[in-house]
Amino acid sequence: MSALVSLLTCCLTFFLLNSLSHPFLVLHPMTKAGRNFGSCSTNGTCELGSLDEAWIIFVSMASRNLISWNSMIAGFQIGGLWQKAIELFNEMRKDGIDFDCSTLISTIASLCGINDDNDVELGLQYCFRLHCLSIRTGFFFEARVSTALIKAYSNLGGGVLDCYRIFLDSSGHWDIVSWTGIISTFVERIPQEALSLFCQLLREGWAPDCHTLSSALKACAGLMTERHAAAVHLLVIRAGFEGDTVLANALIHSYARCGSIALSKQVFDEMEFRDIVSWNSMLKAYALHGQASGALELFSKMNVKPDAATFVALLSACSHAGLLVEGANILDNMSKHYGVVPALDHYACVVDMFGRAGRILEAKNLLSRMPMEPDSVVWSALLGACRKHNETGLGKLAAAKHMELEPGNSLGYILMSNIYCSDGNFNEAGVVRKKMKRLRVRKRPGLSWTEVGNQVHEFASGGLFHPQREAICGKLETFIGQLKHLGYVPETSLALHDVEEEQKTEQLYHHSEKHALAFALMAGSSLHHSQAVIKIMKNIRICLDCHNFMKFASKLIQKQIIVRDSNRFHHFKDGECSCKDYW
């Protein structure tokens, strides 16, 4: 009898394996025995035919062993059918079958398949229950179980601290995979912590592998610290992972985000096998730095079939550089020549492109010509354009649409209020502000970072929180005085409130990037902290005044200032910006 169960289980596994050899699924022939199942690619969906066949065998089995159950759950997990996986796990427990840690791992991992916001709450509940169950049964202390839990919580938007708690609770059972799991949880939200965990891992004598290293590189990309990226690059070389395509892709991305596009190109050129991500990463690097010609030239050399991301990169490059004709052509031809149908993000790029250039009408026409309903990103592109070119009528419509589609996002409210302000209609502006307050919509606080003396310093708007606030404000004041002699005039027309002129100026002076620059200058006056280039990164877009400020500053201090805002890079040098004031 048990021989029959084994045989059927083998069949089931066979079908599952079959379901995994779908082209969307990547098999890893080099992985160790027992992990020959492969994994889903990001857009991968399983060929359900074979999964169905596995299911038929599963239900027809008169008796099942633990492996049959586990395989079936794992099949659902890899196929992204998380409800089915949970259901089967529950059924298994109802039948009184003892599960093992593989069962738990697959069930927990299935929760990573949740991609509908409406299911998140439920997913978190399942996650918590499985977490408790793991602790009760002792399986929690299997590194694979706790790592799966970390990933599942993290994917469901759970708190980083909750994830970290799991990591700490399972201490003593860590391996390099659990380290990578917790690092990648931090990377998205608190890159500095991710990097510090990576350092801790090194100090404790663990050997990072390709997975760990690429997470670490992503953290460097987030932090904009080239020094760190270069250090991790050295580790990559020392560990002999130079041939790893994913790692090289991470390096390209990371160097580009750190402002060193030349290093990105070097990594790209030295690669032996470039995949679609390599090309796209390099194209995105050019787009990020406003080098549209570089992007177009690289695209012409591309020997891999372009995908949707390729065209987002190209279109955003055109948008950043104001190449209207090229951009419009690309949008028109991408479907015809390359079989990639324009999606929302492509339209958003082109609406943004026209809008930036002041061709509001074309932006608006494109928006109404789109074959699908514009989403909030498209509307926000139009909104930005309306603000830049004082198109108040259309701006109000765009802001209203944005508020409707994303009532929790401050953007629509703020721009709407700005439009009223620039019209001098302060009453209406106040109404919008109040509505925002009533709905408890918070503006995303502006933050800037800069690295001084091997430390990354964070600045909030208004200089709040920084221990040297007083000194920074003092420095800023004298510095602004000097800039005014060079011709700097504060740009107050876009300030947010209906307050007196003087107060507006006051608020402008406290934008976080100005504080960051003042701090870098203070530190730079002591010789051992003097830097050739000052790099500042910012979480939201740089405003017109700060942009102007940085131009004058670069002239005054005779140093290059590089600002990375949420959108792109600005290289300020001798009073000018690489974006040619077009952004």
Name which of residues 218 to 277 contact DNA (CB under 7 A).
218, 221, 241, 244-247, 249-250, 253, 257, 275-277
Q: How many CB atoms lie within 10 A of CB 251?
A: 30
**Of 247 and 520, which CB lies nearer to DNA in the complex structure?**
247
Cα-flanking dihedrals φ and ψ of residue 545, to 5°? -70, -45
Interface with DNA in residues 495-514 (CB under 7 A): none
Beta-bridge partners for 40: 25
Smallest gap from Cβ 397 to DNA, in A, equals 22
**451 Cβ contact list (under 8 Å, min separation 6):** 224, 225, 227, 457, 535
Residue 245 near residue 271, CB atoms below 8 Å = yes
Residue choice 19, 50, 134, 184 for contact with DNA (CB under 7 A):
184
Q: For DNA, which stretch binds (CB under 7 A), given 50-58, 95-103, 116-124, 505-513? A: 95-103
Q: Is 284 in the site for DNA (CB under 7 A)?
A: yes
Residue 215 binds DNA (CB under 7 A): yes
- Tell me phi and psi for residue 98, to 5 degrees: -75, 120
Q: Select from 63, 566, 576, 581 the one that contacts DNA (CB under 7 A).
A: 566
Helix (H) or strand (E) holding 563: strand 560-564
> Which of 25, 51, 92, 109 touches DNA (CB under 7 A)?
109
142 binds DNA (CB under 7 A): yes
Provide the minimum distance between the beta carbon of 178 and DNA in the complex, in angstroms, as a whole number: 4
Query: In angstroms, how far is CA 304 from the centroid of its own chain?
Result: 24
| Nearest residue (CB) to DNA, 218 versus 559 | 218
Stretch that binds DNA, among 85-93, 203-211, 440-448, 519-527 (CB under 7 A): 203-211
Nearer to DNA by Cβ, of 101 and 517: the residue is 101
User: Is residue 66 within the footprint of DNA (CB under 7 A)?
Assistant: yes
* 9 versus 554: smaller Cβ distance to DNA: 9
Task: Closer to DNA by CB, 327 or 490: give it.
Answer: 327
Q: Return the number of the residue (277 or 563) whose C-beta is nearest DNA.
A: 277
What's the min distance (Å) between Cβ of 510 and DNA? Answer: 23
Q: Out of 61, 190, 210, 231, which residue is the one contacting DNA (CB under 7 A)?
A: 210
- 291 touches DNA by CB under 7 A: no
- The rounded distance, in Å, linking the Cα atoms of 19 and 10 is 14
Nearer to DNA, 181 or 374 (CB): 181
Token output for 371: 């074959």
Shortest Cβ 34–DNA spacing (Å): 4
Minimum CB distance to DNA, residue 43 (Å): 8
Q: Which of residues 298-317 bind DNA (CB under 7 A)?
A: 307, 309, 312-313, 316
Closest approach, Cβ 414 to DNA, in A, equals 16
In terms of Cα–Cα distance, which of 138, 176, 162 is closest to 149?
162
Residue 506: C-alpha distances to residues 18, 465, 509 (Å): 66, 18, 5
Q: What is the DSSP letter of 272?
A: S
Cα separations in angstroms, 349 against 220, 229, 321, 409, 541? 27, 29, 12, 20, 16
Report if residue 25 touches DNA, rule: CB under 7 A: no
- In angstroms, rounded to a whole number, what is the distance separating the alpha carbons of residues 88 and 70? 10
Q: CA nearest 520: which of 505, 506, 532?
A: 532
Q: Are 466 and 472 in contact, with CB atoms under 8 Å apart?
A: yes
CB of 457 to DNA, least distance (A): 22
Cα separation of 302 and 276, whole Å? 9
3-state SS class at 556: helix
With respect to DNA, which residue has the nearer C-beta, 170 or 554?
A: 170
Is the Cβ of residue 225 or residue 316 nearer to DNA in the bound state?
A: 316
